[in-house]
Amino acid sequence: MHTAVDTQLIQALDSAHFLHPFTDLKDLQARGARVITRAQDIYVWDSEDRRMLDAMSGLWCVNVGYGRKELADAASQQMMTLPYYNSFFQTTNVPAAKLAAKLAALAPDVGERSFKHVFYSSSGSESNDSNVRMVRRYWDLLGQPQRKTIISRMNAYHGSTMAGASLGGMRDMHAQGDLPIPGITHIGQPYFFENGAPGESAEDFGVRAAGWLETKILEVGAEKVAAFIAEPLQGAGGVIIPPASYWPEIQRIVDKYGILLISDEVICAFGRLGHWFGYEKFGYKPDLITFAKAITGGYIPLGGVMVGNRVAKVLIEQGGEFTHGYTYSGHPVACAVALANLDIMERENLPGRVRDDVGPYLARAFAQLETHPLVGVAETCGFVGGLVLVRNPQTREKFKADLNVGMVCRGHCFANGLIMRAVGDRMIIAPPLTMTHAQIDEMLALIVKCLDSTY
The residues that touch ligand PLP, with contacts defined as CB under 6 A, are: 123-125, 128, 157-159, 231, 235-236, 264, 266-267, 292, 303
Give 47 or 152: the residue with its C-beta nearer to ligand PLP. 152
Q: Give the single-character DSSP code of 326.
A: -
Residue 304 Cβ vs ligand PLP, minimum distance, rounded to whole Å:
11
Tell me the residue nearest to ligand PLP as measured from the CB.
124
Instruction: List all residues 6 or more positions away from 51 whose beta carbon is below 8 Å from its beta carbon.
Output: 43, 44, 45, 417
Residue 59 Cβ vs ligand PLP, minimum distance, rounded to whole Å:
6
What b-and-e string marks burial along 412-450, b requiring 16 or more CB atoms within 10 Å of the CB? bbeebebbbbbbbbbbbbbbbbbbeeebbebbbebbebb
Give 196 or 238: the residue with its C-beta nearer to ligand PLP. 238
Residue 264 Cβ vs ligand PLP, minimum distance, rounded to whole Å:
4
Closest alpha carbon to 339 in 96, 157, 149, 150? 96
Is the bond preceding residue 180 a cis peptide, omega within 30 degrees?
A: yes
Kindly list the distances between the CA atom of residue 256 and the CA atoms of 112, 152, 189, 221, 259, in Å, as whole numbers in the listed order: 16, 18, 21, 13, 8
Residue 29 Cβ vs ligand PLP, minimum distance, rounded to whole Å:
24
Calpha distance 127→231 (Å, rounded): 14
Give 74 or 267: the residue with its C-beta nearer to ligand PLP. 267
Residue 273 Cβ vs ligand PLP, minimum distance, rounded to whole Å:
13
Is residue 398 exposed (0-12), middle (13-18) or buried (19+ Cβ within 10 Å)? middle
Instruction: List all residues 6 or more positions away from 47 whose beta carbon is below 8 Å from its beta carbon.
Output: 3, 5, 7, 10, 35, 36, 37
Closest alpha carbon to 71 in 432, 344, 332? 344
Give 63 or 454: the residue with its C-beta nearer to ligand PLP. 63
Strands (E), 202-292: 225-230, 260-264, 288-291
Give 209 or 266: the residue with its C-beta nearer to ligand PLP. 266
Residue 40 Cβ vs ligand PLP, minimum distance, rounded to whole Å:
24
Q: Judge contact between 66 and 434, C-beta under 8 A.
A: no
- Which amino acid is located at 79 in the chain? M
Give 159 or 308: the residue with its C-beta nearer to ligand PLP. 159
Residue 328 Cβ vs ligand PLP, minimum distance, rounded to whole Å:
13
Q: Judge contact between 384 and 273, C-beta under 8 A.
A: yes
Residue 128 Cβ vs ligand PLP, minimum distance, rounded to whole Å:
6
Q: Which helix H or strand E contains 379, and what residues bound it?
A: strand 375-381
Q: Give the single-character DSSP code of 75.
A: H
Residue 101 Cβ vs ligand PLP, minimum distance, rounded to whole Å:
23
Q: Judge contact between 229 and 260, C-beta under 8 A.
A: no
Give 159 or 271: the residue with its C-beta nearer to ligand PLP. 159
Give 169 or 332: the residue with its C-beta nearer to ligand PLP. 169
**In the chain, what is the straight-line distance between the N-terminal and C-terminal CA atoms, in Å?**
36
Residue 298 Cβ vs ligand PLP, minimum distance, rounded to whole Å:
10
Give 232 or 376: the residue with its C-beta nearer to ligand PLP. 232
Give 125 or 309: the residue with its C-beta nearer to ligand PLP. 125
